Structure 1
Amino acid sequence: MPSELEELVGFIAHPTQQIRQIAIENLIPYATTQPEIFKTEQLTPIKHLKFLVRDDPEIAQHALDILINLTAEQDVLENVATDDRFLGIILGLVTDASEPNANLLSMLLANLAKWDGLKILAERKQTPPPALGSDPLVLNQLMDLFVKGADGSYNKHADYDYLAYLFADLAKHPEIRNFLTTRQDYDGVQPLNKIKVFTEHASDIRRKGVASTIKNVAFDIPTHPDFLAEDGINILPYLLLPIMGNETYDEDEMMDMLPDLQLLPPDKQRDRDATIIQTHVETLTLLTSTRAGRDLMRAVKVYPIIRETHARVEDEGVQEVCERLVNMLMRDEEETGREMGRIEGVVDDEDDKVVEV
């Protein structure tokens, strides 16, 4: 016999809007405390929740709140992520300039990226809204949403910050890394160049996701020359500026630093999130995998910046990765041996868990 909560779950499919709304609003807390009540009858309630994302905006909001939390459950995640029709619906909704729940849709997409099969977005296409001025490739549309969301110029209801977490998890896959470093035909820009500018953005979510995206792409050693080239991605200033504060350097050190890093204002602050600083230093360490990378970092005086970061950031994780990077930069190249052919290690999972609301 169904429990009272299970009976309440049944009302989210009621034909009367007011009843649906009352039922779904009261069920929101149970998505995290009793997720099993949504798994009855072979996940039928999940099917109903997916249908409701196109309901009245308030009902859709509650349905998305519940789905975002329920995708912490592996069986629900797979059910939602493998539903190609539903994926098409949320991709169509999130790109709509008038969609009031676009941020929640972005969060749901970020969660779905925990399913490895979402790398299919590397090839998926849909007609872009004229207002977006983008390309049929869905990834390009999501990237353009992310850029426009930074200043609210596309959808007044959304900043699309959580798409940074989507990009970070997708960048675990070679197909997505290739997309991020390839100039796109419709605008001639490498997508990674579109998002690197947000490493000092005000949003913690945006900065954290972008930092992890950059790090995950940096696991691909063949991209390193483009990462470091001034006429390529030119990533070093965007990794180093966030980890720098208002400390002063000897003149001979400062004059050899990258131009963007010289004569910083006295009120310059390093990133307040130690995990983001750690991610940037880990990315710098990945970029020392080649002799060219190490030589460039020595030439532009990365060591003094890491020295000051180590001294001023009282975080065990940050200090550990700083020491590892210093060891790479100070090593005797005559004893280095042959270059690394690939990087072993675990690709960065954004938070290693789903987003919850």
Structure 2
Amino acid sequence: MESQLDELIQFLTNPRPDVRQVASTYIVGFTHPTSDYFDLVVARADKLVRPLLVMCHDNPVVAHDAIRSLVNMTTKPSVCGYFDDEDSLSMIVRLITNPSMVIADLCCMLLSNLTKVDRICRRLSTLMVGETPGLCSSPMAMDQLTDVFVKGMDHKFNKDANFGFLASVFSDMTTYPFGRKYFLERTSYDGKLPITKIMVFNEYPDVIRRGGVDSTMKNVCFEKDKHKEILDPNETNMLPYILLPLCGPEEIDMDDMEKFPDELQLLDDDKKREPDSKLRATLLEAINLLCTTHFGRQTLRDKNAYIVLREMHKVETDDACIDLNDRAVQLLMRDESKETMDDNQQSNAMEDDTIEEI
């Protein structure tokens, strides 16, 4: 079978479209993780990645098989290393930002696999791909991916794509300081904070999109020296977007509600809490991270975040969420001392059970 597979790989670059199509059909079947030949294919990634990437520009049938093959293969981190160059990543970004590309969403899936590898994230953070007319005037790949994520919602930029998997890319990028720095600093081309562009999707119906956004918001909260900007209503103003999904239909006393951020006041009677327990936990982790600074704790107190946690606790059934809720409440309700008010002296709030960066 090995010699037959080697021969099949050669057909991927055949000048005849029908030959390439037959070859790509076989290859995509072999790349399925349950295939008996998956390991053989992965072992030949050095011969497969580049031809398959080029075939993503072929006719739609061939392109679809090619990108599916790459998505399947990159579930193995060892394969991701073959994309660690500017040319390959630029090609993927351009496929994503092409408004007529039918495989754009699958390209987003591919990129979300690749950004599980740190060196890919590092390269992507500085990658320049040239401006994309009609989308973004910045040549930076991250700027273009952020803008297409926003403008491409509900197939508005590309009728065949929703770009939801880019949220996973953003989540991966913000596990690193350089990724968090990107989302928390204003861009040079439009003067906006990238995190403010994406956090508005934290209650979007698609769990992939809102889940990646929730994780990204949580990850940027690791930047303790940015907590003031993160919580400033005139800057990032992230607190309402963290608390709102944790709110339910409960009736809140008007005196308590008056201290809420404006976005949390007078919610509808049918307001639903985030249904996914893992995403509720992610948002609670963000609150716990904000509690690692005195400014963060005091802001949460001033905005009556305790009331949101209290009402949530009454109906919460997930053990992890209950534990995270309790820890946040303890931090908010404790008395402050000279030591706890000094962020350089106090021990990390997560010292005994570190919140893992997603």
Under a length normalisation based on structure 2, what TM-score does the superposition of the two structures give?
0.91
Q: Is the 8 A contact 1:172 1:347 kept in 2?
A: no
Matches within 5 A, 1:242-257: 242-257=245-260
Q: Distance in 2 between matches of 1:41 and 1:326?
A: 53
- 1:137 is aligned, of 140, 151, 156, to 140
Deviation at 1:27, TM superposition (A): 3.4
Give the CA RMSD over aligned residues: 2.1
Deviation at 1:19, TM superposition (A): 2.7
User: How many residues were matched structurally?
Assistant: 348
Q: Give the 4+ runs in structure 1 shifted more than 3 A.
A: 3-15, 39-42, 335-347
Q: Distance in 2 between matches of 1:8 and 1:120?
A: 32
Aligned to 1:109: 111
Q: Is the 8 A contact 1:274 1:313 kept in 2?
A: no
Q: Is the 8 A contact 2:294 2:340 kept in 1?
A: no
Q: Distance in 1 between matches of 2:299 and 2:326?
A: 18
Residue 292 of structure 2 is aligned to residue 292 of structure 1:
no
Structure 1 unpaired stretches of 5+: 350-357
Q: Distance in 2 between matches of 1:75 and 1:266?
A: 50
Under a length normalisation based on structure 1, what TM-score does the superposition of the two structures give?
0.91
Deviation at 1:273, TM superposition (A): 1.0
Distance 1:39 1:301, change over 3 A: closer
Deviation at 1:305, TM superposition (A): 0.8
Structure 2 unpaired stretches of 5+: none
Aligned to 1:28: 28
Deviation at 1:44, TM superposition (A): 1.1
Distance 1:91 1:3, change over 3 A: same
Aligned to 2:164: 161
- 2:233 is aligned, of 191, 209, 230, to 230
Aligned to 1:174: 177
Deviation at 1:15, TM superposition (A): 3.4
Q: Is the 8 A contact 2:2 2:40 kept in 1?
A: no
Deviation at 1:64, TM superposition (A): 1.0
16-25 or 104-113: bigger deviation: 16-25
Deviation at 1:121, TM superposition (A): 2.4
Aligned to 1:96: 98
Residue 332 of structure 2 is aligned to residue 323 of structure 1:
no
Q: Percent identity?
A: 35
CA-to-aligned-CA distance 1:62-86 (integer Å, 9 cap, x gap): 1111111211212211122x13321
Q: Is the 8 A contact 2:175 2:357 kept in 1?
A: yes
Aligned-partner residue type, residue 94 of structure 1 = I
- 2:128 is aligned, of 125, 142, 151, to 125
Residue 16 of structure 2 is aligned to residue 16 of structure 1:
yes
Q: Distance in 2 between matches of 1:346 and 1:93?
A: 35
Q: Distance in 2 between matches of 1:306 and 1:297?
A: 11
Distance 1:14 1:36, change over 3 A: farther
Aligned to 1:348: 357
- 2:155 is aligned, of 139, 152, 155, to 152
Distance 1:51 1:37, change over 3 A: farther
Aligned-partner residue type, residue 295 of structure 1 = Q
Q: Is the 8 A contact 1:221 1:289 kept in 2?
A: yes
Q: Is the 8 A contact 1:39 1:46 kept in 2?
A: no
Q: Is the 8 A contact 2:112 2:169 kept in 1?
A: yes
Distance 1:336 1:348, change over 3 A: same
Q: Distance in 1 between matches of 2:73 and 2:223?
A: 33
Deviation at 1:7, TM superposition (A): 5.0
295-304 or 38-47: bigger deviation: 38-47
Aligned to 1:276: 279
Distance 1:42 1:314, change over 3 A: closer
Q: Distance in 1 between matches of 2:73 and 2:328?
A: 39
Q: Distance in 1 between matches of 2:305 and 2:341?
A: 23
Q: Is the 8 A contact 2:294 2:341 kept in 1?
A: no
Q: Distance in 1 between matches of 2:292 and 2:355?
A: 16
